[in-house]
Amino acid sequence: MLVATASLGLIAPIAAQASDVINLEGMNDYNRSKKSSSNRFDSNTFVNEVNEDLAVLKGRVDGLEAQQNNFEAGSFSDTTVLTGSAVFAATAIDGISKVQPLASESLQTMYTYTMDLNTSFTGDDNLYVRLRTGNGKVKSGETATGSFYQKTAAYHTDTYSGGVDSLAVDKIWYTTPIGSSEKWTATFGPKIENYYMYAAPVSIYRPGFHKAFKLGSMSGAFGASTKQGFGVKYVGDNGFAASTNIVSEGGSTTDGFFTKEDGSKWDTMLAYTKDQYHVSLTLSQQDNDWSSYSYYATSTAKADADADATAYAARAYWRPLDSGTATPEVSVGYDVISFDGNASGKVDEATSYFVGLGWPDMFQDSDYIGLGFGQPLKSTSTVGGGTAGDDALSPFLWELTYSFKVNDSMTMIPTVFGGSDVVSATDQDIFGAALTTKFKF
């Protein structure tokens, strides 16, 4: 009896499982049917029913897999593209302590880590977000002391000006076509700079160390400052392009947009660009002591508190038909800025120039030799006559750089650079060397 009971216990679940797959009731019905005795069981009698049940089970499994795939796809938009980069840099600069007494002439290093996210909702628009962290901006109290954060003398092109070692939203804006035309686009965002909304690239020189040499020099009209802003751009099929945009400090404070207290920068550009050359003219109207041009300026070329400024930037570049020859690419820039509201004896007008020579693909594909030099923004006249403090200066900045790819994702950029009278005194001469390594993924 014990054996019989145990056997029944084992057989019962097997029978239950079999009944889920094989239609036992159908088999009984078959036996009770009044069909001709010529019908007999064979190997195909119940195959169809078994196959139907298996098909149902497979359909349920496929449905679960599809739901899982949809869940995974929805967890990160398939229209979002994430790219990133990391920058390691090391530099030593002789004479930097003359420019900034708290800066050190010893070998220093820094890093920057960046994540770029681009999301499209319609296929024609784009939401851009840049997350960044780094340690190039070293402070002692409220004074920047690192060798990567000294405007004009030594501000690395990849220095992160946010908090040290803190990952944050560094840029965010949205771009969309205006109407059905692809020639007109609008851009707006809470963290953006004017030059991201310009009508066309204005320089093809690739800086090795100096951020001051971006955009044909970040001087009177092209200084950068991340604020709230918006703009409109037109790019025609015939090479002509135009843009107008504004960034504002007051948009995130109680001062508000377009008020008397608001500090703002409004840039308007007209450009003509072909494959081999470009020319452009930009008007920049700056309110309430806007001083982002200090990337490439002496210390006296600045606005007093509440003073306004008007600047013009002329840019041009030309490149030969073939790269890898002795004939260089040439980028040039000239800026003039005039101030309204400065006190007597302060700067009334200042000018700067820049020349960038480049030799791409000289020794191997994608390498680049660059030579950049020029005069930072310097006073040419003062309010009420007299001197502005830098009349005796002959400010000059230069760099010689070589960029080459170690592999598709890694680029190394050794650079030597220097300058004379770079900020505020005739004995502020510098000479430095840097090695920058960039990783892209």
Largest CA distance in the chain: 126
Q: How do the domains of the chain map onto residue ranges? A: 19-70, 81-440
Q: Which residue from 206, 377, 210 is spatially nearest to 292, judged by alpha carbons?
A: 377
**Mean pLDDT along residues 172-185:** 93
Between CA 168 and CA 131 the distance in angstroms is 5
**Mean pLDDT along residues 250-269:** 79
Between CA 379 and CA 336 the distance in angstroms is 10
Whether the ω angle into residue 152 lies within 30 degrees of 0, i.e. cis, is yes
Say if residue 406's pLDDT is above 60: yes
**Residues facing residue 173 across a β-bridge:** 128
- Sign of the torsion formed by the C-alpha atoms of 200, 203, 208 and 210: negative
Are the CB atoms for 378 and 347 separated by under 8 Å?
A: no
Q: What is the pLDDT of residue 64?
A: 59
- Sign of the torsion formed by the C-alpha atoms of 180, 182, 183 and 189: positive
**Mean pLDDT along residues 109-136:** 94
pLDDT band at 24 (very low <50, low <70, confident <90, very high): very low
Residue 164: partners with Cβ closer than 8 Å, 6 or more residues away: 134, 135, 137, 138, 139
Between CA 186 and CA 169 the distance in angstroms is 21
Q: What is the pLDDT of residue 299?
A: 87
More confident residue, 173 or 423: 173
Between CA 206 and CA 413 the distance in angstroms is 11
Q: What is the pLDDT of residue 7?
A: 44
3-state class (DSSP) for residue 284: strand
Q: What is the pLDDT of residue 216?
A: 96
Say if residue 405's pLDDT is above 50: yes
Between CA 256 and CA 261 the distance in angstroms is 8
Between CA 336 and CA 344 the distance in angstroms is 20
Q: Which residue bears the tokens 């030309």?
A: 318
- Sign of the torsion formed by the C-alpha atoms of 34, 39, 40 and 46: negative
More confident residue, 382 or 139: 382
What's 156's DSSP letter? Answer: B
CATH for 81-440 is 2.40.160.10
Say if residue 66's pLDDT is above 80: no
pLDDT in tens, 188-245: 999 999 999 999 999 999 999 999 999 999 999 998 888 999 999 999 999 999 999 9
Q: What is the pLDDT of residue 50?
A: 53
- Sign of the torsion formed by the C-alpha atoms of 284, 288, 290 and 291: positive
Say if residue 402's pLDDT is above 90: yes
Tell me what percent of the residues of the chain surpass a pLDDT of 70: 78
pLDDT band at 28 (very low <50, low <70, confident <90, very high): very low
Q: What is the pLDDT of residue 144?
A: 57
Q: What is the pLDDT of residue 268?
A: 98
Read off the tokens for 174: 């949205």
- Pick the range with the lowest mean pLDDT from 111-115, 137-141, 348-352: 137-141
Q: What is the pLDDT of residue 22?
A: 43
- Pick the range with the lowest mean pLDDT from 100-109, 250-259, 417-426: 250-259
Q: Strands of 341-429 (E only): list them.
A: 347-360, 368-382, 396-407, 410-420
Q: What is the pLDDT of residue 393?
A: 81
Question: pTM of the predicted model, to two decimals?
Answer: 0.80
- Pick the range with the lowest mean pLDDT from 31-45, 57-71, 116-130, 150-164: 31-45
Average model confidence (pLDDT) for the chain?
Answer: 84
